[in-house]
Chains A and B, each alone.
Chain A
Amino acid sequence: MKKLKHVPLTPSVLSWAIAESGLTIDEIATRMNLDVGTLARWQREERQPTTLTELKRLSQVLKRQLATFFLPEPPTIIHPQVEFRRPPDSDRTRPNAKELRYLREASRLQRALSWIQRELSVEQVDLPKISNSANPDRAADQLRASLKLSVDEQLSWGDPAKALQGWRNALEAYGIHVFLFPMGADSCRGFSLWDDYAPAIAVNTHWKNEARIFTIFHELGHLVTRSNSFCVSPGRQFLINDGDSHERWCEKFASAVLLPWLDVRRVLQQKLGWSDGAVIAELNDLRVVARLFKVSLQAAALRLIESGVATWSLYQSIPEWADNKPKGGRGKGRVRKEIRESEYGQRTTKVFRNALNEELMTRRDVLSYLEVTDSDLYEIQKISTG
Protein backbone atom coordinates (compact mmCIF):
# COMPACT_ATOMS: atom_id res chain seq x y z
CA MET A 1 0.00 0.00 0.00
CA LYS A 2 1.51 3.30 -1.06
CA LYS A 3 2.00 5.68 1.90
CA LEU A 4 1.57 9.33 1.19
CA LYS A 5 3.03 12.08 3.33
CA HIS A 6 -0.09 14.14 3.19
CA VAL A 7 -3.55 13.74 1.63
CA PRO A 8 -4.87 17.27 1.86
CA LEU A 9 -8.58 16.60 1.47
CA THR A 10 -10.99 19.34 2.48
CA PRO A 11 -12.94 18.45 5.66
CA SER A 12 -16.00 20.54 4.75
CA VAL A 13 -16.21 18.77 1.39
CA LEU A 14 -15.93 15.40 3.11
CA SER A 15 -18.81 16.33 5.45
CA TRP A 16 -20.85 17.53 2.48
CA ALA A 17 -20.21 14.31 0.53
CA ILE A 18 -21.21 12.25 3.58
CA ALA A 19 -24.44 14.21 4.01
CA GLU A 20 -25.25 13.96 0.29
CA SER A 21 -24.65 10.20 0.21
CA GLY A 22 -27.65 9.41 2.40
CA LEU A 23 -25.45 7.01 4.39
CA THR A 24 -24.79 7.26 8.13
CA ILE A 25 -21.26 7.62 9.49
CA ASP A 26 -21.52 4.08 10.84
CA GLU A 27 -22.50 2.70 7.43
CA ILE A 28 -19.63 4.52 5.74
CA ALA A 29 -17.10 3.36 8.33
CA THR A 30 -18.29 -0.24 7.99
CA ARG A 31 -18.10 -0.15 4.20
CA MET A 32 -14.60 1.31 4.42
CA ASN A 33 -13.52 -1.14 7.11
CA LEU A 34 -12.52 1.84 9.23
CA ASP A 35 -13.45 2.90 12.74
CA VAL A 36 -15.95 5.71 13.13
CA GLY A 37 -13.47 7.76 15.16
CA THR A 38 -10.97 7.92 12.30
CA LEU A 39 -13.62 9.13 9.90
CA ALA A 40 -14.74 11.77 12.41
CA ARG A 41 -11.12 12.91 12.82
CA TRP A 42 -10.83 13.28 9.03
CA GLN A 43 -13.92 15.48 9.15
CA ARG A 44 -12.42 17.61 11.93
CA GLU A 45 -9.04 17.77 10.12
CA GLU A 46 -7.33 16.22 13.15
CA ARG A 47 -6.11 13.44 10.91
CA GLN A 48 -6.01 12.78 7.18
CA PRO A 49 -5.96 9.63 5.09
CA THR A 50 -2.42 8.41 4.63
CA THR A 51 -2.80 6.10 1.67
CA LEU A 52 -4.21 6.55 -1.79
CA THR A 53 -6.10 3.30 -1.23
CA GLU A 54 -7.99 4.87 1.70
CA LEU A 55 -8.86 7.84 -0.43
CA LYS A 56 -10.01 5.68 -3.33
CA ARG A 57 -12.17 3.61 -1.00
CA LEU A 58 -13.74 6.80 0.37
CA SER A 59 -14.42 7.93 -3.16
CA GLN A 60 -16.02 4.56 -4.02
CA VAL A 61 -18.20 4.40 -0.92
CA LEU A 62 -19.42 8.00 -1.24
CA LYS A 63 -19.67 7.62 -5.03
CA ARG A 64 -17.70 10.79 -5.69
CA GLN A 65 -14.76 11.41 -7.96
CA LEU A 66 -11.49 11.51 -6.07
CA ALA A 67 -10.83 15.10 -7.15
CA THR A 68 -14.03 16.22 -5.38
CA PHE A 69 -12.34 15.89 -1.97
CA PHE A 70 -9.74 18.49 -3.00
CA LEU A 71 -12.21 21.23 -3.85
CA PRO A 72 -11.76 24.21 -1.51
CA GLU A 73 -15.42 24.08 -0.51
CA PRO A 74 -18.50 21.95 -1.20
CA PRO A 75 -19.63 22.45 -4.81
CA THR A 76 -22.72 24.50 -5.47
CA ILE A 77 -25.05 22.15 -7.28
CA ILE A 78 -28.55 23.11 -8.22
CA HIS A 79 -30.42 19.91 -7.54
CA PRO A 80 -33.75 19.36 -9.26
CA GLN A 81 -36.63 19.90 -6.88
CA VAL A 82 -38.11 16.46 -6.39
CA GLU A 83 -40.96 15.88 -3.98
CA PHE A 84 -40.65 12.79 -1.81
CA ARG A 85 -44.10 11.16 -1.93
CA ARG A 86 -44.99 8.32 0.40
CA PRO A 87 -48.08 6.83 1.95
CA PRO A 88 -48.94 8.54 5.27
CA ASP A 89 -48.26 5.35 7.21
CA SER A 90 -44.72 5.03 5.85
CA ASP A 91 -41.91 5.85 8.27
CA ARG A 92 -39.66 7.07 5.48
CA THR A 93 -39.14 10.82 5.37
CA ARG A 94 -36.37 11.26 2.80
CA PRO A 95 -34.75 9.44 -0.12
CA ASN A 96 -32.31 6.67 0.79
CA ALA A 97 -28.70 6.34 -0.39
CA LYS A 98 -29.58 4.33 -3.51
CA GLU A 99 -32.33 6.71 -4.53
CA LEU A 100 -30.02 9.69 -4.09
CA ARG A 101 -27.30 7.97 -6.11
CA TYR A 102 -29.66 7.24 -9.01
CA LEU A 103 -31.23 10.68 -8.81
CA ARG A 104 -27.75 12.14 -9.24
CA GLU A 105 -27.06 9.87 -12.20
CA ALA A 106 -30.40 10.61 -13.89
CA SER A 107 -30.15 14.31 -13.26
CA ARG A 108 -26.58 14.51 -14.60
CA LEU A 109 -27.58 12.58 -17.70
CA GLN A 110 -30.60 14.80 -18.17
CA ARG A 111 -28.52 17.98 -17.97
CA ALA A 112 -26.19 16.66 -20.68
CA LEU A 113 -29.02 15.39 -22.88
CA SER A 114 -30.88 18.66 -22.59
CA TRP A 115 -27.76 20.64 -23.44
CA ILE A 116 -27.05 18.49 -26.51
CA GLN A 117 -30.62 18.88 -27.79
CA ARG A 118 -30.47 22.65 -27.36
CA GLU A 119 -27.07 22.87 -29.06
CA LEU A 120 -28.42 20.81 -31.97
CA SER A 121 -31.49 23.08 -32.17
CA VAL A 122 -33.86 20.19 -31.53
CA GLU A 123 -37.35 21.37 -30.59
CA GLN A 124 -38.70 21.13 -27.06
CA VAL A 125 -40.69 18.02 -26.17
CA ASP A 126 -44.33 18.77 -26.82
CA LEU A 127 -45.79 17.04 -23.77
CA PRO A 128 -49.07 18.69 -22.71
CA LYS A 129 -49.13 20.40 -19.33
CA ILE A 130 -52.18 19.25 -17.43
CA SER A 131 -53.49 20.27 -14.03
CA ASN A 132 -54.16 17.55 -11.49
CA SER A 133 -57.65 18.96 -11.16
CA ALA A 134 -58.32 17.86 -14.74
CA ASN A 135 -60.29 14.71 -15.44
CA PRO A 136 -57.66 11.91 -15.49
CA ASP A 137 -59.59 9.95 -18.13
CA ARG A 138 -59.63 12.88 -20.49
CA ALA A 139 -55.96 13.60 -19.81
CA ALA A 140 -55.19 9.93 -20.50
CA ASP A 141 -57.11 9.99 -23.81
CA GLN A 142 -55.20 13.09 -24.88
CA LEU A 143 -51.87 11.50 -24.02
CA ARG A 144 -52.70 8.14 -25.55
CA ALA A 145 -53.67 9.85 -28.83
CA SER A 146 -50.33 11.69 -28.83
CA LEU A 147 -48.41 8.46 -28.35
CA LYS A 148 -50.00 7.05 -31.52
CA LEU A 149 -50.11 3.55 -30.10
CA SER A 150 -53.31 1.63 -30.69
CA VAL A 151 -54.93 -0.72 -28.19
CA ASP A 152 -54.77 -3.48 -30.83
CA GLU A 153 -51.01 -3.09 -30.93
CA GLN A 154 -50.88 -3.18 -27.13
CA LEU A 155 -52.93 -6.37 -27.03
CA SER A 156 -50.73 -7.96 -29.71
CA TRP A 157 -47.53 -7.75 -27.64
CA GLY A 158 -46.57 -11.33 -26.81
CA ASP A 159 -45.56 -10.85 -23.20
CA PRO A 160 -45.00 -8.15 -20.55
CA ALA A 161 -41.31 -7.80 -21.51
CA LYS A 162 -42.32 -6.93 -25.07
CA ALA A 163 -44.98 -4.60 -23.71
CA LEU A 164 -42.42 -2.78 -21.57
CA GLN A 165 -40.17 -2.37 -24.59
CA GLY A 166 -43.12 -1.27 -26.74
CA TRP A 167 -44.18 1.41 -24.28
CA ARG A 168 -40.61 2.53 -23.76
CA ASN A 169 -40.12 2.88 -27.53
CA ALA A 170 -43.33 4.90 -27.83
CA LEU A 171 -42.31 7.27 -25.03
CA GLU A 172 -38.78 7.62 -26.36
CA ALA A 173 -40.13 8.43 -29.82
CA TYR A 174 -42.13 11.16 -28.09
CA GLY A 175 -38.93 12.57 -26.57
CA ILE A 176 -39.17 11.14 -23.06
CA HIS A 177 -36.19 9.28 -21.62
CA VAL A 178 -37.05 6.15 -19.67
CA PHE A 179 -34.27 4.95 -17.36
CA LEU A 180 -34.42 1.54 -15.72
CA PHE A 181 -32.34 1.46 -12.53
CA PRO A 182 -31.75 -1.38 -10.05
CA MET A 183 -32.73 0.65 -6.98
CA GLY A 184 -33.72 -2.38 -4.91
CA ALA A 185 -36.65 -3.46 -2.76
CA ASP A 186 -36.22 -0.70 -0.17
CA SER A 187 -36.41 2.12 -2.69
CA CYS A 188 -39.13 3.99 -4.50
CA ARG A 189 -40.99 2.53 -7.47
CA GLY A 190 -39.77 5.37 -9.66
CA PHE A 191 -39.16 9.07 -10.02
CA SER A 192 -39.71 11.78 -12.59
CA LEU A 193 -37.63 14.75 -13.70
CA TRP A 194 -39.13 17.39 -15.94
CA ASP A 195 -37.03 19.23 -18.51
CA ASP A 196 -38.27 21.01 -21.66
CA TYR A 197 -35.78 19.12 -23.87
CA ALA A 198 -35.15 15.88 -22.02
CA PRO A 199 -37.96 14.92 -19.65
CA ALA A 200 -37.06 11.71 -17.84
CA ILE A 201 -38.69 8.89 -15.96
CA ALA A 202 -36.66 6.50 -13.81
CA VAL A 203 -38.12 3.12 -12.92
CA ASN A 204 -36.95 0.72 -10.24
CA THR A 205 -36.27 -2.67 -11.87
CA HIS A 206 -36.83 -4.56 -8.64
CA TRP A 207 -40.42 -5.35 -9.62
CA LYS A 208 -41.74 -7.32 -12.54
CA ASN A 209 -42.38 -5.85 -15.98
CA GLU A 210 -46.11 -5.26 -15.51
CA ALA A 211 -45.40 -3.23 -12.37
CA ARG A 212 -42.65 -1.28 -14.12
CA ILE A 213 -45.08 -0.39 -16.92
CA PHE A 214 -47.52 0.99 -14.39
CA THR A 215 -44.74 2.96 -12.69
CA ILE A 216 -43.72 4.48 -16.04
CA PHE A 217 -47.22 5.82 -16.58
CA HIS A 218 -47.60 6.91 -12.98
CA GLU A 219 -44.42 8.94 -13.40
CA LEU A 220 -45.69 10.19 -16.75
CA GLY A 221 -48.59 11.59 -14.74
CA HIS A 222 -46.04 13.56 -12.76
CA LEU A 223 -44.39 14.79 -15.94
CA VAL A 224 -47.64 16.04 -17.47
CA THR A 225 -48.45 17.82 -14.20
CA ARG A 226 -44.82 19.04 -14.02
CA SER A 227 -44.48 17.70 -10.49
CA ASN A 228 -41.06 16.01 -10.12
CA SER A 229 -41.53 13.24 -7.59
CA PHE A 230 -40.04 10.23 -5.87
CA CYS A 231 -42.91 7.78 -5.45
CA VAL A 232 -42.86 5.17 -2.71
CA SER A 233 -45.61 2.55 -3.15
CA PRO A 234 -48.10 5.02 -4.64
CA GLY A 235 -50.88 2.42 -4.95
CA ARG A 236 -51.33 2.22 -1.22
CA GLN A 237 -52.32 5.88 -1.10
CA PHE A 238 -55.71 4.79 -2.33
CA LEU A 239 -56.35 2.65 0.69
CA ILE A 240 -55.63 5.44 3.13
CA ASN A 241 -58.11 8.22 3.53
CA ASP A 242 -55.65 11.06 3.96
CA GLY A 243 -53.39 9.88 1.12
CA ASP A 244 -51.70 12.22 -1.32
CA SER A 245 -54.30 13.44 -3.82
CA HIS A 246 -51.66 14.11 -6.44
CA GLU A 247 -50.52 10.48 -6.22
CA ARG A 248 -54.11 9.34 -6.58
CA TRP A 249 -54.48 11.46 -9.70
CA CYS A 250 -51.34 9.94 -11.21
CA GLU A 251 -52.60 6.42 -10.42
CA LYS A 252 -55.94 7.13 -12.10
CA PHE A 253 -54.17 8.70 -15.06
CA ALA A 254 -51.76 5.75 -15.42
CA SER A 255 -54.49 3.13 -15.30
CA ALA A 256 -56.61 5.14 -17.74
CA VAL A 257 -53.75 5.41 -20.27
CA LEU A 258 -52.99 1.71 -20.05
CA LEU A 259 -56.60 0.55 -19.97
CA PRO A 260 -58.90 2.74 -22.09
CA TRP A 261 -62.38 2.05 -20.73
CA LEU A 262 -64.16 1.24 -23.98
CA ASP A 263 -61.56 -1.40 -24.80
CA VAL A 264 -61.65 -2.82 -21.28
CA ARG A 265 -65.43 -2.99 -21.56
CA ARG A 266 -65.17 -4.87 -24.85
CA VAL A 267 -62.73 -7.35 -23.32
CA LEU A 268 -64.95 -7.85 -20.26
CA GLN A 269 -67.91 -8.60 -22.51
CA GLN A 270 -66.07 -10.89 -24.90
CA LYS A 271 -63.82 -12.77 -22.50
CA LEU A 272 -65.84 -12.80 -19.28
CA GLY A 273 -69.41 -12.48 -20.56
CA TRP A 274 -69.74 -9.35 -18.47
CA SER A 275 -72.74 -7.07 -18.93
CA ASP A 276 -73.44 -3.50 -17.79
CA GLY A 277 -74.15 -3.27 -14.07
CA ALA A 278 -72.36 -6.53 -13.15
CA VAL A 279 -69.54 -6.42 -10.61
CA ILE A 280 -66.13 -8.03 -11.15
CA ALA A 281 -65.19 -9.55 -7.81
CA GLU A 282 -62.95 -12.51 -8.68
CA LEU A 283 -59.19 -12.25 -8.77
CA ASN A 284 -59.12 -14.68 -11.71
CA ASP A 285 -61.29 -12.32 -13.75
CA LEU A 286 -58.96 -9.48 -12.86
CA ARG A 287 -56.05 -11.63 -14.03
CA VAL A 288 -57.69 -12.03 -17.46
CA VAL A 289 -57.85 -8.25 -17.92
CA ALA A 290 -54.34 -7.69 -16.55
CA ARG A 291 -52.85 -10.43 -18.76
CA LEU A 292 -54.50 -9.17 -21.94
CA PHE A 293 -53.44 -5.56 -21.42
CA LYS A 294 -50.02 -6.62 -19.97
CA VAL A 295 -50.49 -4.53 -16.85
CA SER A 296 -50.20 -5.24 -13.14
CA LEU A 297 -53.16 -6.52 -11.16
CA GLN A 298 -53.17 -3.22 -9.27
CA ALA A 299 -53.44 -1.23 -12.50
CA ALA A 300 -56.30 -3.39 -13.73
CA ALA A 301 -58.09 -3.25 -10.38
CA LEU A 302 -57.81 0.53 -10.17
CA ARG A 303 -59.24 0.84 -13.64
CA LEU A 304 -62.20 -1.40 -12.84
CA ILE A 305 -62.85 0.41 -9.56
CA GLU A 306 -62.65 3.84 -11.21
CA SER A 307 -65.08 2.63 -13.88
CA GLY A 308 -67.50 1.42 -11.23
CA VAL A 309 -67.36 -2.28 -12.06
CA ALA A 310 -65.33 -3.43 -9.05
CA THR A 311 -64.91 -2.47 -5.41
CA TRP A 312 -61.90 -1.91 -3.16
CA SER A 313 -62.24 -5.43 -1.82
CA LEU A 314 -60.96 -6.67 -5.21
CA TYR A 315 -57.91 -4.42 -4.87
CA GLN A 316 -57.34 -5.67 -1.33
CA SER A 317 -57.51 -9.29 -2.45
CA ILE A 318 -54.41 -8.83 -4.64
CA PRO A 319 -51.58 -10.76 -2.95
CA GLU A 320 -48.68 -8.67 -1.62
CA TRP A 321 -46.23 -10.59 -3.79
CA ALA A 322 -48.13 -9.83 -7.00
CA ASP A 323 -45.50 -7.37 -8.25
CA ASN A 324 -42.51 -9.54 -7.36
CA LYS A 325 -40.40 -10.86 -10.19
CA PRO A 326 -40.77 -14.60 -10.78
CA LYS A 327 -37.99 -16.59 -9.17
CA GLY A 328 -35.62 -18.35 -11.50
CA GLY A 329 -32.29 -18.06 -13.24
CA ARG A 330 -30.65 -14.67 -13.34
CA GLY A 331 -30.42 -14.90 -17.12
CA LYS A 332 -27.30 -14.86 -19.22
CA GLY A 333 -24.54 -12.42 -18.44
CA ARG A 334 -24.76 -9.15 -20.30
CA VAL A 335 -21.94 -6.99 -21.62
CA ARG A 336 -21.67 -3.40 -20.46
CA LYS A 337 -23.22 -2.01 -23.66
CA GLU A 338 -26.32 -4.15 -23.16
CA ILE A 339 -26.58 -3.14 -19.51
CA ARG A 340 -26.22 0.53 -20.37
CA GLU A 341 -28.71 0.41 -23.24
CA SER A 342 -31.14 -1.35 -20.95
CA GLU A 343 -30.61 1.21 -18.16
CA TYR A 344 -30.44 4.40 -20.21
CA GLY A 345 -32.59 3.44 -23.20
CA GLN A 346 -31.95 3.75 -26.91
CA ARG A 347 -32.92 7.40 -27.03
CA THR A 348 -30.13 8.32 -24.64
CA THR A 349 -27.46 6.49 -26.63
CA LYS A 350 -28.84 8.05 -29.82
CA VAL A 351 -28.58 11.59 -28.43
CA PHE A 352 -24.98 11.01 -27.29
CA ARG A 353 -24.19 9.47 -30.69
CA ASN A 354 -25.50 12.65 -32.34
CA ALA A 355 -23.34 14.74 -30.02
CA LEU A 356 -20.30 12.73 -31.10
CA ASN A 357 -21.14 12.88 -34.81
CA GLU A 358 -21.74 16.63 -34.62
CA GLU A 359 -18.48 17.07 -32.66
CA LEU A 360 -20.28 18.57 -29.69
CA MET A 361 -18.56 16.02 -27.49
CA THR A 362 -15.35 14.08 -27.79
CA ARG A 363 -15.25 10.32 -27.87
CA ARG A 364 -13.88 10.38 -24.32
CA ASP A 365 -16.78 12.58 -23.16
CA VAL A 366 -19.34 10.16 -24.54
CA LEU A 367 -17.51 7.19 -23.05
CA SER A 368 -17.55 8.96 -19.72
CA TYR A 369 -21.32 9.51 -19.84
CA LEU A 370 -22.29 6.11 -21.18
CA GLU A 371 -19.64 4.21 -19.21
CA VAL A 372 -19.24 1.72 -22.03
CA THR A 373 -16.08 0.39 -23.64
CA ASP A 374 -14.55 2.02 -26.70
CA SER A 375 -15.46 -0.99 -28.85
CA ASP A 376 -19.05 -0.73 -27.56
CA LEU A 377 -19.12 2.86 -28.73
CA TYR A 378 -17.93 1.80 -32.20
CA GLU A 379 -20.83 -0.68 -32.24
CA ILE A 380 -23.26 2.06 -31.19
CA GLN A 381 -21.94 4.29 -33.99
CA LYS A 382 -22.28 1.47 -36.51
CA ILE A 383 -25.95 1.10 -35.63
CA SER A 384 -26.50 4.75 -36.56
CA THR A 385 -24.71 4.52 -39.87
CA GLY A 386 -25.59 0.94 -40.78
Chain B
Amino acid sequence: MEIWVIDTSSIIHIRELMPIKEQIKVYATLTQLVDSQKLVYPKQVLDELKRYTPKSTKPDRPLEWALFNEKKATRSGPQLATLKTILAHTQVRRIFDPEKVGVGEADPHVLALAYHLSTSGEQVTVLSEERKDRPDKLSMTTACAHLRLICMPIDAFLAVQSIWP
Protein backbone atom coordinates (compact mmCIF):
# COMPACT_ATOMS: atom_id res chain seq x y z
CA MET B 1 0.00 0.00 0.00
CA GLU B 2 1.16 3.55 -0.68
CA ILE B 3 1.70 5.46 2.60
CA TRP B 4 2.85 9.01 3.21
CA VAL B 5 4.57 10.00 6.44
CA ILE B 6 4.18 13.72 7.01
CA ASP B 7 6.69 15.88 8.89
CA THR B 8 5.92 18.96 11.03
CA SER B 9 7.48 21.27 8.44
CA SER B 10 4.97 20.18 5.78
CA ILE B 11 1.94 20.43 8.05
CA ILE B 12 2.95 23.99 8.91
CA HIS B 13 3.83 24.84 5.31
CA ILE B 14 0.26 24.35 4.09
CA ARG B 15 -0.61 27.67 5.70
CA GLU B 16 2.10 29.39 3.67
CA LEU B 17 0.92 27.93 0.40
CA MET B 18 -2.69 28.99 0.09
CA PRO B 19 -5.46 31.23 1.38
CA ILE B 20 -7.48 30.14 4.44
CA LYS B 21 -10.51 28.99 2.46
CA GLU B 22 -8.41 26.54 0.49
CA GLN B 23 -6.51 25.41 3.57
CA ILE B 24 -9.76 24.18 5.11
CA LYS B 25 -10.48 22.04 2.04
CA VAL B 26 -6.92 20.70 1.90
CA TYR B 27 -6.84 19.74 5.57
CA ALA B 28 -10.21 18.01 5.12
CA THR B 29 -8.82 15.98 2.23
CA LEU B 30 -5.75 15.09 4.31
CA THR B 31 -8.10 13.84 7.02
CA GLN B 32 -9.68 11.51 4.47
CA LEU B 33 -6.22 10.16 3.69
CA VAL B 34 -5.60 9.58 7.42
CA ASP B 35 -8.96 7.78 7.63
CA SER B 36 -7.94 5.49 4.80
CA GLN B 37 -4.62 4.83 6.61
CA LYS B 38 -2.59 6.41 3.81
CA LEU B 39 -1.28 9.39 5.75
CA VAL B 40 0.48 9.00 9.11
CA TYR B 41 2.80 10.85 11.49
CA PRO B 42 4.48 10.00 14.78
CA LYS B 43 3.31 11.44 18.11
CA GLN B 44 6.41 13.67 18.22
CA VAL B 45 5.00 15.72 15.31
CA LEU B 46 2.01 16.52 17.45
CA ASP B 47 4.28 17.40 20.39
CA GLU B 48 6.23 19.78 18.18
CA LEU B 49 3.05 21.45 16.88
CA LYS B 50 1.80 21.85 20.44
CA ARG B 51 5.02 23.57 21.35
CA TYR B 52 4.59 26.03 18.48
CA THR B 53 1.09 27.06 19.59
CA PRO B 54 0.45 29.31 22.59
CA LYS B 55 -1.14 27.33 25.43
CA SER B 56 -3.57 30.12 26.17
CA THR B 57 -5.19 30.21 22.75
CA LYS B 58 -7.29 27.89 20.65
CA PRO B 59 -5.16 25.50 18.57
CA ASP B 60 -4.27 26.91 15.18
CA ARG B 61 -5.30 25.00 12.08
CA PRO B 62 -2.22 22.71 11.73
CA LEU B 63 -2.43 21.66 15.39
CA GLU B 64 -6.19 21.35 15.25
CA TRP B 65 -5.83 19.01 12.29
CA ALA B 66 -3.08 16.96 13.93
CA LEU B 67 -5.03 16.66 17.19
CA PHE B 68 -8.20 15.64 15.39
CA ASN B 69 -6.35 12.86 13.58
CA GLU B 70 -4.04 11.83 16.40
CA LYS B 71 -5.51 8.43 17.16
CA LYS B 72 -5.52 7.13 13.60
CA ALA B 73 -2.39 8.87 12.36
CA THR B 74 -0.17 7.77 15.24
CA ARG B 75 -1.52 4.24 15.52
CA SER B 76 1.88 2.65 14.75
CA GLY B 77 3.15 3.82 18.15
CA PRO B 78 6.78 4.63 19.01
CA GLN B 79 9.33 2.93 16.77
CA LEU B 80 12.23 2.92 19.20
CA ALA B 81 13.95 -0.21 17.89
CA THR B 82 13.78 1.17 14.35
CA LEU B 83 15.01 4.51 15.62
CA LYS B 84 18.07 2.74 16.99
CA THR B 85 18.56 0.93 13.67
CA ILE B 86 18.47 4.08 11.54
CA LEU B 87 20.68 6.06 13.94
CA ALA B 88 23.36 3.37 13.53
CA HIS B 89 23.86 4.83 10.04
CA THR B 90 26.74 7.31 10.33
CA GLN B 91 25.12 9.90 8.05
CA VAL B 92 21.49 9.43 9.07
CA ARG B 93 22.26 10.04 12.73
CA ARG B 94 22.93 13.66 11.80
CA ILE B 95 19.17 14.07 11.27
CA PHE B 96 18.99 15.68 14.69
CA ASP B 97 21.26 17.89 16.73
CA PRO B 98 22.04 16.16 20.04
CA GLU B 99 23.07 19.52 21.51
CA LYS B 100 19.58 20.97 21.25
CA VAL B 101 18.11 21.94 24.60
CA GLY B 102 14.33 22.10 24.92
CA VAL B 103 11.58 20.44 22.98
CA GLY B 104 12.68 17.44 20.93
CA GLU B 105 12.51 17.49 17.16
CA ALA B 106 10.23 15.04 15.38
CA ASP B 107 12.54 14.38 12.41
CA PRO B 108 14.25 11.20 13.70
CA HIS B 109 10.87 9.79 14.67
CA VAL B 110 9.35 10.62 11.27
CA LEU B 111 12.26 8.86 9.65
CA ALA B 112 11.98 5.83 11.97
CA LEU B 113 8.27 5.50 11.25
CA ALA B 114 8.84 5.76 7.50
CA TYR B 115 11.66 3.19 7.62
CA HIS B 116 9.59 0.84 9.76
CA LEU B 117 6.69 0.96 7.29
CA SER B 118 9.04 0.63 4.35
CA THR B 119 10.73 -2.48 5.76
CA SER B 120 7.26 -3.88 6.45
CA GLY B 121 6.64 -3.86 2.71
CA GLU B 122 4.73 -0.58 2.31
CA GLN B 123 5.49 1.90 -0.44
CA VAL B 124 6.50 4.90 1.65
CA THR B 125 7.04 8.57 0.82
CA VAL B 126 8.09 11.15 3.40
CA LEU B 127 6.58 14.62 3.14
CA SER B 128 8.97 17.31 4.34
CA GLU B 129 10.12 20.81 3.43
CA GLU B 130 13.63 20.25 4.76
CA ARG B 131 16.02 20.22 1.83
CA LYS B 132 19.11 22.08 2.94
CA ASP B 133 21.78 20.35 4.99
CA ARG B 134 23.48 22.35 7.73
CA PRO B 135 26.77 21.60 9.46
CA ASP B 136 24.93 20.46 12.59
CA LYS B 137 21.92 18.85 10.97
CA LEU B 138 21.20 16.76 7.92
CA SER B 139 18.03 17.65 6.01
CA MET B 140 15.17 15.19 5.92
CA THR B 141 15.59 14.91 2.13
CA THR B 142 19.22 13.79 2.43
CA ALA B 143 18.54 11.46 5.36
CA CYS B 144 15.73 9.83 3.35
CA ALA B 145 18.08 9.37 0.40
CA HIS B 146 20.56 7.52 2.64
CA LEU B 147 17.76 5.16 3.64
CA ARG B 148 16.50 4.87 0.06
CA LEU B 149 13.22 6.53 0.97
CA ILE B 150 11.45 9.00 -1.26
CA CYS B 151 10.97 12.48 0.16
CA MET B 152 8.87 15.22 -1.42
CA PRO B 153 7.61 18.65 -0.43
CA ILE B 154 3.94 19.12 0.39
CA ASP B 155 3.13 21.26 -2.66
CA ALA B 156 4.36 18.51 -5.00
CA PHE B 157 2.40 15.93 -3.05
CA LEU B 158 -0.79 17.99 -3.19
CA ALA B 159 -0.35 18.47 -6.94
CA VAL B 160 0.41 14.80 -7.62
CA GLN B 161 -2.65 13.80 -5.63
CA SER B 162 -4.77 16.41 -7.44
CA ILE B 163 -5.65 17.96 -4.09
CA TRP B 164 -4.30 21.46 -4.74
CA PRO B 165 -4.26 23.63 -6.77
Contact = CB atoms under 8 A, between A and B. Distances in A.
Main secondary structure of the interface of B (DSSP, over half): loop
Interface in A350-386: 360-365, 367-368, 371-376
A318 to B, nearest CB: 35
A101 B104 contact: no
Nearest to A101: B101
Contacts of B135: 111, 115
Contacts of A361: 132, 134
Interface residues of B, number: 41
Interface in A48-88: 52, 59, 63-68, 70-72, 75, 77
B81 A8 contact: yes
Contact of B136 (A10, A52, A65, A108): A108
Interface string B88-102: 100001001111111
B52 A374 contact: yes
Interface of A: 4, 6-8, 10, 52, 59, 63-68, 70-72, 75, 77, 101, 104-105, 107-108, 111-112, 115, 335-336, 360-365, 367-368, 371-376
Given A52-B78, A363-B9, A364-B129, A8 B84 contact: yes
B78 A363 contact: no
A374 B9 CA distance: 11
Nearest to A7: B80
Given A108-B136, A335-B54, A368 B87 contact: no
A364 B51 contact: no
Contact of A65 (B57, B60, B100): B100
A90 B132 CA distance: 47
A71 B130 contact: no
B105 interface: yes
Given A4-B80, A364-B9, A373 B98 contact: no
A59 B48 CA distance: 15
A72 B9 contact: no
B159 interface: no
A71 B16 contact: no
Contact of B81 (A6, A52, A68, A365): A6
Contacts of A104: 99, 101
B53 interface: yes
B98 A70 contact: no
A101 B102 CA distance: 10
Given A67-B96, A111-B136, A363-B13, A375 B51 contact: no
Nearest to B15: A374
B60 A108 contact: no
A365 to B, nearest CB: 7
A6 B83 CA distance: 13
A368 B105 contact: yes
A108 B101 contact: yes
Ranked nearest first, the 5 interchain pairs of A and B with the lowest CB-CB distance are A364-B9, A67-B108, A65-B104, A70-B84, A75-B98
Contacts of A376: 54
A368 B81 CA distance: 25
Contacts of B99: 77, 104, 107-108
Interface string B1-24: 000000111001100100000000
Nearest to B111: A67
Contacts of B93: 71-72, 75
Contact of B87 (A67, A108, A360, A365): A67
Contacts of A368: 48, 100, 103, 105
Nearest to B85: A70
Contacts of A374: 12, 52-53, 60, 62
B130 A65 contact: no
B104 A59 contact: yes
Given A8-B80, A67-B98, A111-B135, 7 more contacts: A64-B98, A66-B44, A67-B83, A71-B93, A77-B99, A365-B130, A374-B52
A102 to B, nearest CB: 8
B116 interface: no
A115 B54 contact: no
Nearest to A74: B98
